[in-house]
Amino acid sequence: MAAALRKAMSFNSKTARWVNAWLLLSPAAVLMVAFTHFPIVGGFFASFFSTARPGRPSRFVGVENYTSMLNDPVFWQVLGNNFFYALGTIPLSVSLALLMAVWVNGRFRGRAVVRAAYFTPTILPMIAVANIWLFFYTPQIGLLDKIRSLFGLASHSWLGDPGTALACLMVLAVWKDAGFFMIFYLAALQAIPPELEEAAVIEGAGRWYFFRRITVPLLMPTTLFVVVNATIHSFKLVDHIFILTKGGPDNASSLLLYYIYEVAFSFWDTAYASTLTVVLLAILGALAVGQFAYLEKRVHYR
C-alpha cells in the first residue's frame, strides 16, 4: 500500500516536473511556432496555391507557381546576382577580417583606435551608412567622381550603370562586415598559446611562414563559422538596396530577398513571393546541413 502510494507520488512529481517544464517553455514555443515554424510550413503550402484576388479566391494550382518561377527571367537574374554578390563579398571581407585581427592582436600604439575604426561600421544601421555612401556614388557632385575628376576622368553614374550597380553594393557590404568578422578571429587568435610563436622563433620560422603554416590552420574552425555567417548575411541583408538602387537598373542589383519583398509588397503576389521564399529557405537549409555534416567529420572542433 505504502509502496504503491510512493510510486504514485513519484509518478506525480515526475509528471509535475514535465508539466512545469512545458509551462516554462510555452511562451517561447508559442512565439517560435507562430513566427518561425508556421511561416516556414505555411509558406511551403501557400506556394501551391494561387494568390487570392478580389472576386477570385485562392485555389490549388499544383506546381504552377514553380513553373512560372523557372520561366521568370528576373528570378534567374536575382539568383545569379545573389551568388555573384556572395562570391564577391565573402572572400574579401573574410580575408580582410583576418588581416585586421592579426594587426589589432599585435602590440602598437593606438591599437584601440584602429580596432574601434574597424569595428564601428558593425554597430551602425545599414540604412544610415547607405545614406552616406549614396553621396559617394552620386555622379559629378559625389566624392568618387570628384576624386576621378582630379585625374581628368569623366563622371560616371555608378549606381545607374548595370555594370557597376551591384559592385557598389558589394563594396559597402565588405566595409560593413569585415570589422564584425574580425572580432571572431581576434577571439581565436587570443586563444592560440604564445609558446607556439616562441617555439617557432627559436626554430627560425619567419612571421609569414608561421602565419601560413600555424595560424591559418589553427583558425580553420573560426573561418568556417565566419564563412557560414557571411553567406547567411549575403542572403539576408538587403537594406542598402532600398537606399542605393532599389534593385535597378533593370534588376541588375536586386538580390533574392529584395525581389521577394517587391513581389510581396509592391505587386502583392503573396503566392509567388512564398514560392521564392521556399527557394531562399532551401539555400539556407542546405547551408545548415552542409555546416553540420562538415562539423560532424571534424572531431577537433570546440
Partner 1 sequence: MIRGVDEGERLEMLAAWLLAFLWAAPLLYAAWAAFHPMDFVSRFDLRAPLTLDNFRSAWKVAPFARYFLNTFLLVCMTLAGQLIVCTLAAYCFARFEFPGKNVAFLLVLVQIMIMPDVLIVQNYLTTSRLGLVDTILGIGLPYMGSAFGIFLLRQAFKQVPQELEDAARVEGAGWLSILLKVYVPLTRPTYLAYGLVSVSYHWNNFLWPVVITNSTTTRPLTVGLSIFGAPESGVNFSVISAGTLLAVSPLLIAFLLFQRQFVQSFMRSGIK
Contacts to partner 1 from residues 47-76, by CB under 8 A: none
Q: Are 77 and 254 in contact (CB under 8 A)?
A: yes
Tell me if 12 contacts partner 1 by CB under 8 A. Answer: no
- Minimum distance, C-beta of residue 192 to partner 1, in the bound complex (Å): 15
Tell me if 134 contacts partner 1 by CB under 8 A. Answer: yes
One-character DSSP codes across the chain: -HHHHHHHHHHHHHHHHHHHHHHHHHHHHHHHIIIIIHHHHHHHHHTTBPPPBTTB---B-TTHHHHHHHT-HHHHHHHHHHHHHHHHHHHHHHHHHHHHHHHHHS--TTHHHHHHHHHHHHHS-HHHHHHHHHHHHSTTTSHHHHHHHHTTPPP--TTTSTTTHHHHHHHHHHHHHHHHHHHHHHHHHHTS-HHHHHHHHHHT--HHHHIIIIIHHHTHHHHHHHHHHHHHHHHH--HHHHHHTTT-STTTT--HHHHHHHHHHTS--HHHHHHHHHHHHHHHHHHHHHHHHHHHH-TT--
- Minimum distance, C-beta of residue 195 to partner 1, in the bound complex (Å): 20
- Minimum distance, C-beta of residue 184 to partner 1, in the bound complex (Å): 5
Q: Among the candidate windows 3-11, 57-65, 84-92, 225-233, which touches partner 1 by CB under 8 A?
A: 225-233
Q: How far apart are CA 215 and CA 236, in angstroms?
A: 30
Tell me if 30 contacts partner 1 by CB under 8 A. Answer: yes
User: Among residues 2 and 299, whose Cβ is nearest to partner 1?
Assistant: 299
Q: Largest Cα–Cα distance of the chain, in whole Å?
A: 100
User: Among residues 166 and 188, whose Cβ is nearest to partner 1?
Assistant: 188
User: Among residues 76 and 268, whose Cβ is nearest to partner 1?
Assistant: 268
User: Among residues 4 and 300, whose Cβ is nearest to partner 1?
Assistant: 300
Q: Which of 8, 9, 34, 216 binds partner 1 (CB under 8 A)?
A: 34
Q: Which of 32, 63, 216, 220 binds partner 1 (CB under 8 A)?
A: 32
Residues 170-209 that bind partner 1 (CB under 8 A): 175, 178-180, 183-184, 186-187, 207
The number of angstroms, rounded, from the C-alpha of 121 to the middle of its chain's C-alpha atoms is 16
User: Among residues 2 and 165, whose Cβ is nearest to partner 1?
Assistant: 165
Count residues contacting partner 1 (CB under 8 A)?
91
Q: Which of 128, 196, 216, 220 binds partner 1 (CB under 8 A)?
A: 128
Instruction: Please tell me whether the peptide bond between 249 and the residue prior to it is cis, using omega within 30 degrees of 0.
Output: yes
Site map (CB under 8 A) of partner 1, residues 86-125, x = contact: ----------x--xx--xx---x-x-xxxxxxxxxxxxxx
Q: How far apart are CA 117 and CA 96, in angstroms?
A: 14
Site map (CB under 8 A) of partner 1, residues 246-265, x = contact: -----------x--xx--xx
Q: Which of 10, 12, 13, 36 binds partner 1 (CB under 8 A)?
A: 36
Tell me if 46 contacts partner 1 by CB under 8 A. Answer: yes
Q: Among the candidate windows 2-10, 83-91, 224-232, 247-255, which touches partner 1 by CB under 8 A?
A: 224-232
Task: Read off φ and ψ for residue 138, nearest 5 degrees.
Answer: -60, 130
Q: Among the candidate windows 4-12, 56-64, 67-75, 136-144, which touches partner 1 by CB under 8 A?
A: 136-144
